[in-house]
Amino acid sequence: MDGEQTVLVTGGSGFLGGWCVVDLLARGYRVRTTVRDPAREGELRAKVASQVDPGDRLTVLIADLNGDRGWAEAADGCDYVLHVASPFPPAQPKDPDELIAPARDGTLRVLRASLAAGVKRVVVTSSVAAVRNLGAGTVSPERKLTEADWTDPDNPHLTPYTRSKTIAELAAWEHMRAHGAEERLVTVQPGAIIGPVLGRDRSYSLQAVERMLSGRMPGLPALGFCFIDVRDVAALEVDAMTAPDAAGQRLITAGTFLWLSEVAAILREQLGPAARKVPRRRVPNMLVRALALFDPEIRSVVGDLGRKTTYSLANAERRVGWSPRPVEETIVDCARSLLGQGDPTMADSAR
C-alpha cells in the first residue's frame, strides 16, 4: 500500500469512526477525520494513540453534516472517503426530520465534496435497518436477508432512525447514479455494533451490554440482535475502499443473532463475579409494551419483541474476503473494556 494515500473518515470521534481511524493508521494510510466540536480533538487523538502511534499522519478538521462549510477542504486531495458520521440518538425524536435531514443531506454533502475532489471511492456506513423492515408477513423468519432486500421508507410504522438510514442510503445511490459514479460507491450495512470502547462514545447497541453489567437492566426482554464487532466492521470498510469486486456494492456486515438472554448467559459464564449484576429473569412482552407508553427508549424497540432476523454474509465474503470473529469473543472483549473504563456501578461489579 502506498503510504502517501490519504483517507477522510467522517465522524472520527464516534465509536465506529474511531476504530476506522485506528485501522487505517495501522495499515500506513494518512488519515483526515472530522469532528463537529473542536474541543474533542484532544480526546480523539488520545483514544487513537491508545491503539496505534499516528505520528504526523492524523489530521483533525471541523465539519458538520448540517452545513456545507469545511467539506470541500476535508475531501480535497483525498484518495478515499469513509463516511461514518450519522446521528443515532438513544430515544427517537417526535419529528423524524431531526434524524432524516442530517443523515440524508449530510451524506449528499460528503458525496458532492468527494466527487468534486476526484476521490476514487466512497464507503458509506448504512445499517441493516435499511434492509430488514420489509413489512409484516413478507418474509419467512428462516430466510436470510440479502443486499437485494430494501426497507420501504414510506412504511408509517418505521422509527425515525430506520427511515433516516434507508432514505440516506437511497439518496446516496441515486446521487452517484445521476453522476455516472455508481462504481465509486460502496455501502455497508452493519448489525448491532459492539466491541471494545476507545472512549466515552457509545453505540446504541453497546448500551445493552453496559446496562446488563451495571444492573441498570432489571430483566431481559424478548429482544435479539445480530451483533457484530466494531473492529470487524472497520476492517471491512477499509478493505472495501480498494477491493475491485466491492465497487458499486452493498455489503451486509451483521453477525450472529443472539437473544439478550443468550448474551446475558455468555457474560455470566465468561466473566464470573464481574457479571453478578447481569439479570436472569425474563420480562414479559406485555410489560415491555406497557412501559413503552412512558419511556421513548423502550418504545423504539417494541416492534422487535420476539422477532428474529438473520442475514447472509455471502456478498461481503465473496467481494472482500471478509468474515467476522466469533460473537462470544466480541461480547467478552466488549464487557471487559466497559468494566475497565471506571464507571463506578460496573467497577463495583468487577471487584
Q: How far apart are the first and last CA of the chain?
A: 45
CATH number at residue 185: 3.40.50.720
- Residues 219-241, mean pLDDT to the nearest whole number: 95
Quick check: is 231 in a domain? Answer: yes
- Residues 28-40, mean pLDDT to the nearest whole number: 93
Question: Which pLDDT score is estimated for 331?
Answer: 97
Contact in structure between 236 and 121 (CB atoms under 8 Å): no
Taking Cα atoms as reference points, which of 202, 192, 222 lies closest to residue 298?
222
Contact in structure between 286 and 204 (CB atoms under 8 Å): no
Quick check: is 26 in a domain? Answer: yes
User: Higher model confidence: residue 157 or residue 30?
Assistant: 30
Question: Which pLDDT score is estimated for 200?
Answer: 76
Quick check: is 237 in a domain? Answer: yes
153-167 pLDDT per residue, tens: 888 788 888 899 999
Provide the sign of the torsion angle of the four alpha carbons 188, 193, 198, 200, taken in this order. positive
- Residues 316-333, mean pLDDT to the nearest whole number: 96
Quick check: is 114 in a domain? Answer: yes
| pLDDT of 109 over the 90 cut | yes
Quick check: is 84 in a domain? Answer: yes
The radius of gyration of the chain from alpha carbons, rounded to an integer in Å, stands at 20
Question: Which pLDDT score is estimated for 345?
Answer: 40
Question: Which pLDDT score is estimated for 141?
Answer: 65
Strand partners, 121: 80
Non-local (6+) Cβ contacts of 290 within 8 A are none
- 93 confidence band (pLDDT: 50, 70, 90): low
pTM to 2 decimal places: 0.91
The question of whether 144 is a catalytic residue gets the answer no
Quick check: is 348 in a domain? Answer: no
Quick check: is 157 in a domain? Answer: yes
Lowest mean pLDDT of 135-149, 156-170, 277-291, name the range. 135-149
Sheet holding 250-253, edge to edge: 58-62, 30-35, 6-10, 80-83, 121-125, 185-190, 250-253
303-320 pLDDT per residue, tens: 788 889 999 999 999 999
Instruction: Indicate the number of domains in the chain.
Output: 1
- 88 confidence band (pLDDT: 50, 70, 90): low
Question: Which pLDDT score is estimated for 10?
Answer: 97
Quick check: is 192 in a domain? Answer: yes
Tell me how crowded residue 325 is: count the other CB atoms within 10 A of its CB. 15
Widest CA span in the chain = 58
- Residues 6-14, mean pLDDT to the nearest whole number: 95
Backbone region of residue 180 per phi and psi (left: phi > 0; alpha: psi in -120 to 50; beta: other values)? left
Exposed (0-12), middle (13-18) or buried (19+): which is 311, by Cβ within 10 Å? buried
Question: Which pLDDT score is estimated for 316?
Answer: 97
What separation in angstroms does the CA of 128 have from each of 16, 68, 228, 295, 347? 15, 28, 11, 24, 33
41-82 pLDDT per residue, tens: 999 999 999 999 999 999 999 999 989 999 999 999 999 999
Question: Which pLDDT score is estimated for 2?
Answer: 47
The rounded percent of the chain whose pLDDT value lies above 90 is 70
| pLDDT of 95 over the 90 cut | no
Lowest mean pLDDT of 148-152, 190-194, 284-288, name the range. 284-288
| pLDDT of 186 over the 80 cut | yes
Question: Which pLDDT score is estimated for 349?
Answer: 32
Residues 134 and 43: their CA atoms lie apart, in Å, by: 40
**Residue 31 grid coordinates:** 488519515
User: Higher model confidence: residue 183 or residue 91?
Assistant: 183
Q: Which domain holds residue 189?
A: 6-198+227-255+310-325
One of 120, 144, 165, 277 is an active-site residue; which one?
165
The rounded percent of the chain whose pLDDT value lies above 70 is 89
